[in-house]
Amino acid sequence: MNDRMSDMMSDIEEILISEEDLQERIKTLGMQIAADYEGKDLVLVGVLKGAVLFMADIMRYINIPLSFDFMAMSSYGKDTKPSGVMRILKDLDEDVESRHVLIIEDIIDTGFSLSYLTANLRSRNIASLKICTLLDKPDRRKVNVKVDYNGFSIPNRFVVGYGLDFAQRYRNLPFIGVLKPEVYGGTEA
């Protein structure tokens, strides 16, 4: 392990979900999605930047024809808590009208971002809309969103790794880890 990786690891309080557990659950989710969408025109919509690793891995297990695109939204800025003001930073390049859309999200906490995104996508005359998330923090939910495919329900802790970040760092960790509060200057996620 190099010095930079050691520095990142020293910021981790505990490993919440191991790399092996992540990959096993992602395989199961991908196979279920493939079965559910057999014969349908499926487009995956990944929410940047956090869902990139999850989306890349889950696509490998969805063994039916599909296409994918990305959207980027912002509600956090450089803070650790959502601001409540949503902005689309990158919209879809692909037309999703009359198609079955599956949102691929890294983590759902308050539900504000996802509520905004689902309303936006539903306005595009899609055939159906479902949500797949790697992580769900039900204790933080402020807006009711229906999660169709859930990787893991987790406690209200500040997590990083496997695409999730703090100040653009830690995304490349191969597991989900709890960040030490002294690193982000807080006590809650």
> Selecting from 3.10.310.40, 3.30.830.10, 3.40.50.300, 3.40.50.2020, what CATH number does the domain 21-155 have?
3.40.50.2020
pLDDT tens-digit series, residues 56-112: 999 999 999 999 999 998 865 555 555 567 889 999 999 999 999 999 999 999 999
pLDDT tens-digit series, residues 157-166: 999 999 999 9
Provide, rounded to the nearest whole percent, the portion of the chain with pLDDT above 70: 90
pLDDT in the model for residue 63: 97
Mean residue pLDDT across the chain: 92
The catalytic residues are 109
Place of tokens 């597991």: 175
Which residues are within 8 A (CB) of 184 and not within 5 positions of it... i.e. 6 or more apart?
Answer: 80, 158, 166
Q: Where are the domains of the chain?
A: 21-155
